[in-house]
Amino acid sequence: MNKLLNSALVASLAGLCFTTAACDSKATKEAKTQAKAIDESYEAEADLKESLAKGGPDEKAAHNEAEALREKGEHIKDHLVNELDDVD
């Protein structure tokens, strides 16, 4: 479910990136805010994963998975922001 939701967010934001070329910078700022929100959602998911596994036998594996989630969120955000910068 989370992957589907994130994929939908990325797709809609990518579409917004291409439509902001004719719009003012307010639309660009909104799209960048959404990109940041996507990154923050990955960060929250990573924090939750670590929190649930803390002190358990899978703590190290959960930490590694959490780090991968953080990197993925950052990558998505950076990609979308770069797309917006290219449109501007």
Q: How many domains does the chain have?
A: 1
Query: Taking residues 48-67, what's their average pLDDT?
Result: 96
Is residue 87 classed as helix, strand or coil in its secondary structure? helix
E-assigned strands of 1-88? none
Q: Domain range holding 63?
A: 2-87
Residue 88 and residue 81: Cα distance in Å, rounded?
11
The pTM of the whole model exceeds 0.85: no
Q: What is the pLDDT of residues 39-51, one digit of tens each?
A: 999 999 999 999 9
21 has pLDDT over 80: no
Higher-pLDDT residue of 61, 27: 61
Residue 81 and residue 22: Cα distance in Å, rounded?
17
**pLDDT band, very low/low/confident/very high, at 66 (cuts 50, 70, 90):** very high
